Chain A
Amino acid sequence: MTMDSPQKAAIAQAWARAWDDGDVDALDDLLAPGFTRRTQGSKTSLSADELKKEIRATREAFPDLVTTIDEIVLDGDRVAIFWTSTGTHQAELLGIPATRRKVVTYGSNLCTLSDGKLTDERVTWDPRHLLTALGISTVRHD
């Protein structure tokens, strides 16, 4: 991916530090106060602190997690981030004990920018994709 703008470079750097190095506070420079994150299909949204917790939990489950940003598209106050994550499942996640499997999952985030910071993001990512990669399928809820 080409980093043809400081905005893209700032996003890529904060993501690498948070998701790959576990330095979740690096997101403080990127996220606006009151930031919210909602994953498509989920009824609840996460705050910045809750997102940090989720990153920590994900990194516990996948200690060798590497997230590649495939593309960042900027359009006015909108930014879309397309990403691919790879990691080895070493601890429980989503109720699934460690499978020791190396898996790849991918998704995209559509974010709103204000003064160079993200005020909200909408994540398109299906946890079932990850579970399927781990060899897990789940009975439907009643």
Chain B
Amino acid sequence: MTDALSTPLTDEPDLDALKGFNRQFVTGVTVVTTMDDGRARGLAVNAYCSISFDPPLVMVCVQRTSSTWPALFAATHLGVNVLSNQQQAVVATFASKHPDKFSQVEWQPGPHGSPLIPGSAAMLEAEIRERFQAKTHTLFLCRVRHAQVADLAPMVYKAGRFFDGADLTELASATG
């Protein structure tokens, strides 16, 4: 065993170990969007997860303190935009506390009205089915209604930093 941060033998994990665990998990970056009485809202989320293809289910996890969070309760649909390696300005806007993030970002309504952001690597729109309250966060379990993919490389998120998804080195395969 060579791990620098290990969890002691109790029922509670060491917080630093848990944070370290999450820093080791590489994700893309999404902007989750919805309409709130005619106004576009959204936030940067890396807690996106595909659940199944049949039925087409996905989930996103949103913190209660987000200004978009209440709107996701009245909304029937949400959008998920997978950011591309060209969208540093977009991620900066959505990671900020700007009161009207969509005044800074071009967007188009999806088939059910959720804001989709051109220049994203991929976009989907989904119908919100379940809202699971997990203390400080809510998991929104959704059925996908629309998906589209662009010929753009994704942005990569690791340990609080952003990387170019077009510049990844593939590990040598067993046969290669």
Residues of A within 8 A of B (CB): 92, 95-100, 135-139
Contact = CB atoms under 8 A, between A and B. Distances in A.
Contact of A137 (B73, B128, B130): B130
Nearest to B129: A135
Contacts of A97: 69-71, 73-74
Interface of B: 69-71, 73-74, 128-135
Contact of A139 (B70, B74, B128, B135): B135
Contacts of A92: 70
A136 B134 CA distance: 11
Contact of B74 (A98, A137, A138): A98
Contacts of B69: 97
B133 A99 contact: no
Nearest to B131: A136
Contacts of A95: 133
Given A135-B129, A135-B130, A137-B130, A99 B135 contact: no
Given A97-B70, A139-B135, 19 more contacts: A92-B70, A95-B133, A96-B73, A96-B133, A97-B69, A98-B73, A98-B74, A99-B73, A99-B74, A100-B74, A135-B128, A135-B129, A135-B130, A136-B132, A137-B132, A137-B133, A138-B132, A139-B132, A139-B134
14 contacts: A95-B133, A96-B133, A97-B71, A98-B73, A98-B74, A135-B129, A135-B131, A136-B131, A137-B130, A137-B131, A137-B133, A138-B132, A139-B134, A139-B135
